[in-house]
Each structure stands twice: as C-alpha cells, then as structure tokens.
Amino acid sequence: MKIMRFIIPVLVILCEFDFGFGRQTTAYTINVQVFEIPPIQTVTQAGPETDGVVVGTTIGGDVTAKFPAQPVFIQTDLGPGAADEDMKNILYDGKFLPRDCLPGGVRWFLAGSYSISCPDRDLGVDSGRKEYHEPPVVPSRGDRFRRSEYWLTILPVSASTEKAKLRLKFVGKIKSAETDTGLDNILFDQDIEVSLGKTVLVGFAQFTTEERRALPRGTVYILAVLVQRQGSQKDR
C-alpha cells in the first residue's frame, strides 16, 4: 500500500507535465491588414495647348459607387507576403472596383496592420480577443485623403489542420450633422472561415442602403486576413 501511495501521485505529475516537458499546444498566427478606399478619386491631366492655353482634363470620380451593399468574402490562393497589387487585381477581376477609371488604378491605403499569436487554449474565449483603435488622420500636403477612425476586434473562434474561424468586428465613425465627432457605426460583425496559409479578402462599404437607384457607398474597407498554424510548443 505504501508503494501504491507513492506511485499514483508520481503518475499524476508525469501525465500533467508530459513526462516533465510540459503539455503540447498548438498556436496560430493571425495577420489582419486594413485597407481604406476613399470614394472620390480624380486625376487632372494636361491636354493640348490651344491659343497659348493648356486645357486640363479631369478623370475619375466615385470609384466605390458600384461596390456591393453586402459584405464581400473572397478566399484567395495568395500566401504570406502577398503584394497589395495582387490583392487589388482580385477585386478588379471580380468587378468590385473599376480597373480603368484612373491611370494608376484605384488608390487605397494601408490604414492598419495587426498580428497576434493565439494558442489553442485561447480559441473561443475572451483571453484570445484583441481590440485595436485607430484615431483619425487629417490630410497632409503629400496626402490629401483623410484616414477614418475605427475600432477593430479580432476573436479567434476555432481552428483545425486546414481551416480557422474568426469573429471580426469593425466599428467606424460616421459624421453627423449634429456633432463634429461623428457617430459609431458597426460596419461589420460576423464570423469568417479562412483556409490556413491563404489570404481571405473581406470587403464592406460605409453605406449599405439597398435601393434600385444607385447610391454612394462611401469609403470601402478591405480586410486581408491570413491565419497560419505554428509548430507545436509546450506550456511551461
């Protein structure tokens, strides 16, 4: 009996720590890039000189007017380090943005880039949740577009060897006639599923009113989401 009393606690300790080396866990790296597409984009080009006067031509306009009212999900084959233009070409090919409205194409900005590491024990619980706030950025001499203020919440929900599910929430500021600061507006709050190691593009517009007549969509946001599975690691 004395031997059994000694052996049982030892076995419990060994099982708890995987024979002294700790419990094996799997971690996931989640990268989210937030791109912002201003609606009104124009370029003025100088035309031929007539009677000593150079006539300019302005081209462009509301580049987001035909973006869908509902969020767009595109699972791509783009892996880590994908170029911005490769992602934008996918939006062109899907007719979400006009390819030839401007000489250099539609302009977008990287408004924020976030990277988190989540062990499997934090999937679906509050400890895995990350929240980010980006304040507005006023136009400068070299950049005449204003960056919007927003809040981004990332919650890893679940993961397998091939896919992962995330809860993404994006809250933007909508200017109000009654206040200078604007009103909070939930632009996106859904679960998305992504293939591990491949980028998924999530796009949504500032204004989502659905009517027969064309209405402005305002600023369009594109989230480029990439989830990668890290090698197994040990809890200490």
Residue 90 corresponds to which tokens in the numbers above? 């996918």
Residue of higher predicted confidence among 151 and 24: 151
Question: Domain spans of the chain?
Answer: 31-44+57-234
Model confidence at 234, pLDDT cuts 50, 70, 90, reads low
In this prediction the pTM is 0.79
Half-sphere exposure at residue 218, Cβ-oriented, CA atoms within 13 angstroms? 16
| Proportion of the chain above pLDDT 70, given as a percent | 70
Residue 18 has pLDDT above 70, yes or no: no
Residue 30 corresponds to which tokens in the numbers above? 């989640």
* Cα–Cα distance for residue pair 236/21, rounded to 1 Å: 8
Residue of higher predicted confidence among 25 and 81: 81
Q: What is the pLDDT of residue 227?
A: 97
Residue 178 has pLDDT above 80, yes or no: no
Model confidence at 2, pLDDT cuts 50, 70, 90, reads low
Over residues 211-221, mean pLDDT: 74
Residue pair 111/134 in contact (Cβ under 8 Å)? The answer is yes
Closest CA to 227 of 78, 85, 93: 78
Closest CA to 88 of 134, 36, 39, 42: 36
Residue 15 has pLDDT above 80, yes or no: no
Mean pLDDT of the chain: 81
Query: pLDDT digits over 57-106, tens only?
Result: 666 688 998 899 899 999 999 999 999 999 999 999 999 999 888 888 89
Helix, coil or strand: residue 101? coil
Q: What is the pLDDT of residue 179?
A: 43
Q: What is the pLDDT of residue 142?
A: 56
Over residues 13-22, mean pLDDT: 47
Closest CA to 29 of 223, 164, 201: 164
* Cα–Cα distance for residue pair 90/96, rounded to 1 Å: 9
Half-sphere exposure at residue 158, Cβ-oriented, CA atoms within 13 angstroms? 4
Residue of higher predicted confidence among 148 and 212: 148
Model confidence at 156, pLDDT cuts 50, 70, 90, reads very high
Residue 236 has pLDDT above 60, yes or no: no
Query: pLDDT digits over 39-51, tens only?
Result: 988 887 666 666 6
Residue of higher predicted confidence among 2 and 141: 141
